[in-house]
Each structure stands twice: as structure tokens, then as C-alpha cells.
A and B are shown apart, each in its own frame.
Chain A
Amino acid sequence: MNLFANGTLDTPLGLLLALVVGSGFGFWLERAGFGSSRKLTAIFYLQDFAVLKVMFSAMVTAAIGLQLLAATGHVDLGALYVPESIVWPQAVGGLVFGAGFVVGGWCPGTAAVGLASGKLDALVFLVGAGLGSLAFAALQPFVGDFLHAGTCAIGSLPQALGVSPALGAAVLAAVALAAFVGATKVERIMHKRNP
């Protein structure tokens, strides 16, 4: 089943399944502690690397799962919706988004979970994000060309580097493991200094 490929994402069945997927998403975000903006921003003060650990574990789990399912013929990677790589607007968007993350304390998904836990600052952040979307509409005529800058025919990183996607997923897992070891060391040092 692939509702995107069938063009049935926005049918009642698609909306229901998206609701189910979203519930799982919200559940695990909250279990991880991401309904707390202080916990989310603690990584930027080197106090708590849960953001890095959770994000990298999730990315690696899904990346390896997708490669295994594709290798055994259970999923056609070519039929999935792939977020397009347009590197220049994504670099600029990432910088602006990151500023919003540390100043506002949330990202859109975690703010939903924060709101569900009763945080008023999460609601205000979501209102701000809505206003930001409308501000983008005003900016759009001036940056329209830039929004398509840097497609450079590069989709995935393994493709751009000329290696197999399976090797790419394995390298991602190795980088994640190294980051987990490093992050845990930094956490220990910071807690000793500042218990």
C-alpha cells in the first residue's frame, strides 16, 4: 500500500491513516521529553543531547529499515514521496529555522506536543509560525527565483557521491554511533563541572 503513489492521500482513508501515523509521532516525541522546551534547548548549552540521540536513532532506524525493505522487494523507494533537495534555499531556511528553534524553544512538531502538555509558550510559538508562513507569502515574489537555486541534479547524498544507498545508510549509522559516544562524553564532562 502506498497512498501517495495511488494519489489517495487526501481521501477519508488517507486522512485516517495520517491521523494514526501522527498519533505515533506525537506519542514518541512526548516520551522522549520533547514536550519540554528547556529539554529541547539544553543541547545548545551542551547539557543534554537527547535531541541528537533521538533524531539520529530515528533517522538511522528508518534509513536501515527502508534499505532492508527495498532490498527484499517490500518497498519501492522510487515510488515514495521524496523531499526535494534545493540546497541554497534549504541552507538559508535552515539558518532562519535554527534561529527560531533556539529563540522560540520549539520546532513545529514538538510545539504540538508541548501544547498537548499544556505549555502556553508552545501555543504562542505555533501562532508565530503561522504568522511566519503568512510573512513568507509577502516575501515570496522577491525570492521566487532563489527558492529554486541549487537543485544541481542532486537528490540523495550517496547518489551525488556515486556510492550505493545501502552504503550511505551504513555510513549514517556509523556517524550516529560516533556522535552518541561523543555526546555522552560531553554530557559527563558538563555534569561534573556543573552538577
Chain B
Amino acid sequence: MPRPYWNPYVAGAGLGLVLLFSYLVLGTGLGASGAITRAAVVAAHGLAPAAVEQNPWLGSYYADGQNPLAYYLVAMFVGTLLGGLLSSFAAGRIAPGVERGPTAGIGLRLCLALVGGALAGIGARFASGCTSGMALSGGALLQTGSFVFTGACFAAAFALAPMVRKEWR
């Protein structure tokens, strides 16, 4: 039996202390979407190097002979995977599978995961950050744009939730 999750206020305070530590030591907050973008750019570069280097936005990741993966957010993402692995292993929660509502099919769930991921990827680049970098890290510094992003994010998710109810409930 997996162990129960921790109290959300305790987990939130723990997360907040990690964010505080990040600001104290790194001088910057948390982030996750930046590493995914960089991994995608590197994968695309493997397939079509010239096209990536000639694209003004994608090519900037390779400017001056840089390695897009030698970047602190990539290391942070690897750490996030390791920390998640440690915690889920210790709690007996490692369970390979496709998580979905009781009446949702695996195929539908995986298609929606891909579509949802693509939307989140586009949205994060418009906003220059995701729930970690923009909502949480910017919110702790009381940034106007962070509150705008968070409000818009939850408004859209609540508005669309009835349409995908079967996927979850």
C-alpha cells in the first residue's frame, strides 16, 4: 500500500523553503519549462541542424557555440526528476501506468496528454514561464505578470474542465 500524501500546508511550506533557498543561493527561483524547451531544441537540432541554426528563435540557443543543455534550468529539471523519484520510491508510490478516470480509455488519455502538453508548451513560451517559474517564483516576488498568468491559467482550466470531465472523474 502506498503511504498517504503529506499535509498540503506542510508540503507547501517545504516547497516555499526550497524556493527561498533557491533565491538565496542561485539568485533566481524555480523553473521547469525552460529545460523541456531546451531538450526539444536539441532533439530538433539532431534531426535538422541547419534548420534549427537558421531559425532566429531556435538558433539563439546555439549562438556563440553554446550547448543548450549546459544551463542551470536543465540541471534543476534533472534534480526534479531525482527528487520525485526519491519521494515516490520512499512512499511506495512508483506505479507504472496511465492515470485516468474510471471510464476513460488509455488511447484517449494519451492523445489528450499530448495535446495538453503541446498547449502548455506554447502557453509557457508566450508567458516566458510556467507554473514554477512564472506563477510560483514570480508570485513570491509579488510580480503583476505572475498574478495575471496564474489567474488566466486557472480561469481557462475551470472553464474547460466540464468538457474533459470523463478523462478524470
Contact = CB atoms under 8 A, between A and B. Distances in A.
B125 A93 contact: yes
A188 to B, nearest CB: 15
The size bracket of the interface on B is 35 or more
A105 B110 CA distance: 10
Contacts, number: 544
Kindly name the residue among A9, A15, A111, A133 whose own CB sees the greatest number of chain B CB atoms within 10 A.
Answer: A133
Contacts of A112: 32, 77, 80-81, 84
Q: Tell me whether chain B's interface is mostly helix, strand or loop, or mixed.
A: helix
Nearest to B130: A108
Q: Tell me whether chain A's interface is mostly helix, strand or loop, or mixed.
A: helix
A132 B83 CA distance: 26
A65 B20 contact: yes
A139 B122 CA distance: 9
A112 B57 CA distance: 25
A131 B121 contact: yes
Contact of A38 (B91, B101, B120, B158): B101
Interface string A141-185: 101000100000011111010000100110010000000100000
Given A116-B84, A120-B110, A54 B142 contact: no
B146 A23 contact: no
A25 B121 contact: no
